[in-house]
A = this chain, B = another copy of it.
Amino acid sequence: MPAMTLSAADISAALAAIAGGDNVVSDTAKMGAFLNEPRKRFHKTAVAVVTPPDVAAVQAVLRWANDAGVGIIPQGGNTGLVGAQVPLHGTEVILSLARLDRIRSVDTAAGVMTAEAGVILENAHRAAEAGGMMFPLWLASQGSARIGGVLSSNAGGVNVLAYGNARELTMGVEAVLADGRLYQGLNALKKDNTGYDLKDLLVGAEGTLGIITAASLKLYPLPEDYETAIVNIASPEAALDLFQLMRQRAGSRLNAFELIPWIGLDIQMRHGMLDADPTASASPWYALIELTRMAGTAAGALQAALEAAFEAALISDAVVAESLADRTRMWAFREQMSECQSREGPSIKHDVSVPIAAVPALITRGTAAAEKLVPGIRPVPFGHIGDGNIHFNFSMPVGADAKAFMAQFDEVLHEAIYEVVLDLGGSVSAEHGIGQLKTELLQRVKDPVALEMMRAIKLALDPNGILNPGKMLG
C-alpha cells in the first residue's frame, strides 16, 4: 500500500462526498460492529466504514482509493475466522457490502439465482426455497454471513460432500476491480469455455483481487426428504471404512458424513445444550450420516445400508431419525460442536484437511503430539471426514488455568499439528482461509512458485495494492 498522505478527516470527507454522508461512519464506538470479529483476536481500528448504497458507489470509492492510495477492506457479515475482514494496519477503510442486499433474480427453470454481495446467506436459502429449489451451502453463521464474504472466503460447510464448496456453487460473479472498473461475469451457463477462469480467481481471493458485488449461484431441486442417522463407531478407521461403504451404496445421495467424538456429546449433555441424547448409546466415536431422497424414490436406503454396515461390523449401534425433531436434534449436536468447547474454557483450534485416507493417521498422530506437549489436554477432532476436513480442536485440561494454557501452548501446539498435517500432504487451512491469521504460515508452507504466481497476479490486478492490503500474501 502506498504511504498514506490523507488525514482521517480528509478520508471521511472524501468518502462522504462519494457515497453520501449517511453512509460513512468514523466514530470508533459506532464502528464497533465492523471491528469486533468473532474470535476477538484482532484489535486494530479503521479510519472509517463506508457502506455504499449501490454498485456504482462501490466503483467510485475504489476509483478514489486507488488514486489516493487508501487501503480498502471489503466486509460482509463480519463472521470470518481469520481476520480477513478487519484491519491489519489501522489505516484502512472498511467497505461494507451490507446495503447491496437484493436478490436480483431467481430462475428455477435455469437453476440459478443472482444475489448481491450483501444478501445474508439465510435469506438466499429462503429465496431459493420460495422457488421450490435449494441453495445447498449451510454454515453455522448463516444467519449473519453475507454472500460476498461466503464467496470471498470460499466457504464450505456440512454439505460440501454432495454439492461442493462456495466456488463449486458459483456460476459467475460481478466484481469491482481495484481501479473501479466493473467486471461483468454474471452468467447462468453451466458450460462456458471462453477464456480464463476469472470467476474462480475472485472466489476465495479474500477481496485482494477485486470486490465481489453480486454472484449467480447454482440452485438444486429440493429433495423430498432426508434420511438421517447417528451411528456408533469404534474408531476413525472404522468411520473411513463406513464412509466408503456409504459412498458405494448411496453415491451422490450421500449428503453428509460427519465425525464426532464422545467428548462432544459429554460436554453438550453436561451443559444442557441438548434436550435429549441424540445417540443410541455410549460410543467413543459417532458419525452423523444423511442421505437425500428425491420424489418417487423409495425410502429406506439408509436403513438398508446401515444393516450392511452392522453385518460388516463397522457399526455397533445406530439411531435413525424418525421425525423432524429427531433430525433437528442430530444436527444441533453436530452444529454445536464448536460452540460447546467454550463452555469448558479456551481451546486451541485447527481447520485442516488431509487426503481422506489419512484422516485416521491425522487424528492418531495429532493426538499423540498434543498429549506429549500438554498432559491431560482434551482432543475434540470433529467434522467433515468425507472431505478429509477435520476441525482439530483441543480443549484445555480440566482445572487448568485458561490464560496460562493459551499463553504457553497456543503457538507450539499449532506447530505440532501443522507438522503432522503437512507430513500427510494436507492443508493448514481447509475452509477458513488465510486472512491475517495465517499469512506467515502460508509463506512457510506453500509451494514457493505458487506464492510467486499469486504475487504476480496480485500485482497485475491491483498494482497500487489497495485491496485488503497485507491479507493473504502478507
In the complex the two chains form, is B442's CB within 8 Å of A356's CB?
no
A189 to chain B, nearest CB (A): 5
Copies in the complex: 2
In the complex the two chains form, is A454's CB within 8 Å of B190's CB?
no
**Which chain B residues lie closer than 8 Å to A301 at the CB level?**
296-297
Contact with B along A127-142 (1 / 0, CB 8 A): 0000000000000000
| A305 in complex: contacting residue of B296, B357, B384, B428, CB < 8 Å | B296
Within 8 A of B (CB), among A424-438: 425-434, 438
CA distance A411 to B74 in the complex (A): 46
- Which of A94-102, A370-378, A401-409, A457-465 forms contacts with chain B? A457-465
| Given A201-B197, A201-B200, A449-B182, CB of A187 within 8 Å of CB of B425 | yes
A225 to chain B, nearest CB (A): 12
In the complex the two chains form, is B304's CB within 8 Å of A472's CB?
no
Ordered by A's residue number, 29 sampled pairs between the chains whose C-beta atoms are within 8 Å are A109-B357, A154-B197, A167-B197, A167-B200, A183-B447, A187-B425, A188-B355, A188-B425, A189-B354, A189-B388, A189-B425, A190-B356, A190-B388, A190-B389, A193-B429, A196-B201, A196-B204, A196-B205, A196-B454, A197-B203, A198-B450, A198-B454, A221-B248, A248-B295, A249-B295, A251-B253, A253-B294, A456-B461, A457-B457
A111-B356, A185-B450 given; name 18 further pairs at CB < 8 Å.
A156-B191, A182-B449, A189-B430, A190-B389, A191-B384, A191-B430, A194-B434, A196-B453, A196-B457, A197-B203, A198-B453, A200-B201, A201-B201, A251-B292, A296-B301, A296-B304, A457-B457, A457-B461
